Amino acid sequence: MKRILPNILSALLLSCLPWLPAQAQSVSPPPRQVEPPAESLIISHTLSEPETSSFSTDLYRERSNIKTMDLTSRSTDIWTRMRRGFGIPDLASPVVDKQLAALVARPQAVINILERGRKYLYHIVSELEKRGMPTELALLPLVESAYNPMAFSPAKAAGLWQFIPSTGKDFQLQQNWWVDERRDVVASTNAALQYLQAVYELQGDWHLALASYNWGENAVVRAVNSNRNAGKPTDFNNLSMPNETRQYVPKFQAIKMIVANPERYGIKLPNIPNDPYFVTVERSQGMDVAVAARLAEMPLSEFQSLNPAYNRPVIPGSHAADLVLPVENAHKFKENLAAHAGQPLVNWKTYTLPRAARIEDVARRLRLSPDVLRTANGLAARARLASGYTLLIPQDTDTALADRAPPVNIKPRQAQHNPPRALSKTEPRPVASASKPRRRS
For the annotated catalytic residues, the residue numbers are 144
Closest alpha carbon to 313 in 232, 391, 392, 419? 392
Q: How far is CA 370 from the centre of its chain?
A: 36
Contact criterion met (CB below 8 Å) for 110 and 255: yes
Contact criterion met (CB below 8 Å) for 160 and 189: yes
